[in-house]
Amino acid sequence: MANEALQASAVEPDTRDQVVGNSARHNQTIARVVLVLLILFTLFPFYWALRTALSTQRDLLANPASLLPVGFTLDNFRAALGLISTSDAVASGGSGRTFAFWKYLFNTALVSTVVAAGQVFFSAMAAYALARLNFPLRNAVFIMFLAALMVPGVVLLIPNFVLIYDLGWINTYQGIVAPTVLMSPFAVFFLRQFFLGINRDLEEAAKLDGAGYFEIFSRIILPLSSGPMLTLGIIVFITQWNDYFWPFLVGRDEDVRVLTVALSVFRSQTPQGSPDWPGLMAGTLLAAIPIIVIFLFLGRRIATSLQFTGVK
Amino acid sequence: MDMSVTSSASQPKRRFLHEWRRGETLAAWLFMLPALIGFVVFFGFPAARGFYIGLTEWNLLTEPEYIGLENYRELIQDDEFWHSMWVTLYYVLLNIPLQTVLALVIAVVFDRFVRGSGWRSLLLLPWLMPNVVVALLFLWILDPGLGIVNEFFEAVGLPSQSFLGSVDQAMPSIAGINIWRHVGYTALLLIAGMQRIPRDLYDAGALDGASEVKMFRDITLPLLRPIMVFVLITSIVGSFQIFDTIAVTTSGGPVDATRVIYWYIYQEAFERFNFGYASAASIILFAILVVVSLVQLRLLRANESDLS
């Protein structure tokens, strides 16, 4: 595929190729080398984790440099998924520490879905008001949201923790989702910019037909912006899925523990001497799989949208 | 109002629009209500409260005691605080230049020689991964005993290295890990900036016999300035806030070598329960980030675009 992309550019009739044919070919070679290095550089850590997770701990110690799995086994994945008993896992060289993958997966998926849906929907409501409705203080409210965009998380961390603590929400789902489920300054800003670009004719017509604001919002604005809202939702979902510091502070309890926190706990439980690398890598890969799936299906869409919002 | 009574033809329409508009203010606030609650409760109020907590001595269990600027006075004389500031700055200086140069190289190659946007999404893959996952992948790759990097070193006759376990190498290793995660994303943003540069500038340059290096220096770099400012500010501000990678790999060690400011604040608040002191430290970090952003904007003259 790399070759196709590059050859397509090489065979294209291009004045540059005729003028400086040699140097153009030279540049193509450099480009190909950079691309290959980049692919190796990007994919190697994943391959290495996979190769390790498919190896047996004992054989790994004897042969750490083999590029293929040593003592091939699926037991590390089975153990992480709870498919074999702890004693069997220990017998095959695992640490025997429990990693309740399905529970952490459920917690992570729940928290990420709620935050993505809530943040996008409530931000869209606010963005609609800011983009379309006239009311006193509109600019002041918008500037307030813009200013919040600049405030780094560190200032909010301690006060928000104290607030969640006072509410008695430590180690609850609502404690984990509360700060992000109702809005994010970025989501409001992003959606407002998009709504401003929507043609007003449909809305004007709907107004004259007696449609109310909520009808206009739900029947016109939302359907017309389903694409950007979906992209935004995916980005919020991934951000929440990857978040570590906040759930680590307010959701360390086993019942609400998300995957990132679970991985760090699993890692800190491994003894310094001989960590259970195959087990740890199996858990790490399992935690990354949902993101990899999203990447495979929607990577291109996310890349395009980030480039657009990043520059604008 | 009075007008609408006298003019006959457009009267119903006008009154209708007026009614519609009167409800507009109420509707607007209703639409904004959930987001406003979120803003006030989890942004506005905590930001103000953070300043206040910074003026108190507080362990969360007893009542906060107001002590004015005492925390700030102590912080200025606190060697551990300054150490963590320097460690953070050291990290930023290791991270940003290399990451930006690598991203520029990748971006130029993609912009000039790779057709189609399919390959660009590959750049995004590391950035989409959780920090915790990336940290664990590299913890294993860089393991002093069994890591593949040391196995490779041994194979080619180089001595093995401790990497994250060594005072000197821990921070460069952390910087390397985060460069792996961020360089593609940075390149992606730079590519977007480069694509806005008119192609005929390059064609003209090529006709004049200019080399790619010369075109990069005379065309790409100057015209890339606005996006460069954006990329540098966001990556430097982000870089100052490094936490996850360190929490998973070194926990601030060895011997405080990676005890960055975020880790320092975390320990003060959640291990030593000095919530007031930790808040004051976070306010200082906030002030530094604001100054960094302003200085960069000024230095790079962000508002001047050569294209517009």
pLDDT of res. A18:
45
Q: Are residues A37 and A117 in the same domain?
A: no
Do the domain assignments include residue B95? Answer: yes
A19 touches chain B (CB under 8 A): yes
A28 touches chain B (CB under 8 A): yes
Q: Which of B209, B244, B269 sits opposite A244 (nearest CB)?
A: B244
Q: Are residues B219 and B108 in the same domain?
A: yes
Q: Which residue of A has its CA nearest to B12?
A: A208
Do the domain assignments include residue B304? Answer: no
Residue A190 domain boundaries: 101-260
pLDDT of res. A92:
57
Q: Do A165 and B227 touch (CB under 8 A)?
A: no
Chain A: closest CA distance from residue B135 (Å): 10
Q: How far apart are CA A98 and CA A105, in angstroms?
A: 14
The two structure tokens encoding residue A125? 């409501």
Q: What is the mean pLDDT of chain B?
A: 87
Do the domain assignments include residue A197? Answer: yes
Residue B48 domain boundaries: 2-53
Residues of chain A neighbouring B237 (CB-CB closer than 8 A): 152
Do the domain assignments include residue A71? Answer: no
Instruction: State the total domains in chain B.
Output: 2
Q: Are residues A128 and A248 in the same domain?
A: yes
Q: What is the mean pLDDT of chain A?
A: 84
Do the domain assignments include residue A72? Answer: no
pLDDT in tens, A90-108: 655 555 566 788 999 999 9
A142, A311, A312, best to mutate vs chain B, most B CBs in 10 Å: A311
* Mean pLDDT, residues B119-144: 92
- Give pairs for A287-293: CB < 8 Å, separation 24+: A287/A104, A287/A259, A287/A260, A287/A262, A287/A263, A287/B130, A287/B132, A287/B133, A288/A46, A288/B129, A288/B130, A288/B133, A290/A105, A290/A109, A290/A241, A291/A238, A291/A241, A291/A242, A291/B128, A291/B129, A291/B130, A292/B125
Q: Which of A213, A240, A260 is the last residue before a domain boundary?
A: A260
Do the domain assignments include residue B62? Answer: no
* Mean pLDDT, residues B152-178: 92
Do the domain assignments include residue B73? Answer: no
pLDDT band at A89 (very low <50, low <70, confident <90, very high): low
* Mean pLDDT, residues A75-89: 75
* Dihedral-angle region of residue B115 (phi above 0 means left; psi in -120 to 50 means alpha; beta otherwise): beta
> Could you report the predicted ipTM of this complex, rounded to two decimals?
0.86
pLDDT in tens, A182-238: 999 999 999 999 999 888 888 889 888 888 899 999 999 999 999 889 989 999 999
Residue B19: pLDDT above 70? no
Which range among A184-193, A250-259, B113-122, B272-281 shows the weakest confidence by mean pLDDT? Answer: B113-122
CATH number at residue B200: 1.10.3720.10
pLDDT of res. A75:
84
Q: Which residue reads 């100057």 in tokens?
A: B222
A190 touches chain B (CB under 8 A): no
pLDDT of res. B120:
83
pLDDT of res. A22:
66
Q: Please, which residues 107-166 of chain A have a Cβ atom closer than 8 Å to chain B?
A: 122-123, 125-126, 128-130, 133-136, 138, 141, 144-145, 148, 150-163, 165
Q: Do B28 and A133 touch (CB under 8 A)?
A: yes
Do the domain assignments include residue B60? Answer: no
Q: Are residues A12 and A111 in the same domain?
A: no
Q: Are residues B227 and B139 in the same domain?
A: yes
Residue B134: pLDDT above 60? yes
Do the domain assignments include residue B72? Answer: no
Q: Do A207 and B17 touch (CB under 8 A)?
A: yes
pLDDT in tens, A283-305: 999 999 999 999 999 888 888 88
Q: Which of B47, B114, B275 sits opposite A31 (nearest CB)?
A: B114
pLDDT in tens, B237-250: 899 999 999 999 99
pLDDT of res. B304:
54
Residues of chain A neighbouring B263 (CB-CB closer than 8 A): none
Q: Please, which residues 81-100 of chain A have a Cβ atom closer than 8 Å to chain B?
A: none
CATH number at residue A117: 1.10.3720.10
A52 touches chain B (CB under 8 A): yes
Do the domain assignments include residue B63? Answer: no
Q: Are residues A2 and A145 in the same domain?
A: no
Q: Which residue of A has its CA nearest to B203?
A: A16
pLDDT of res. B56:
94
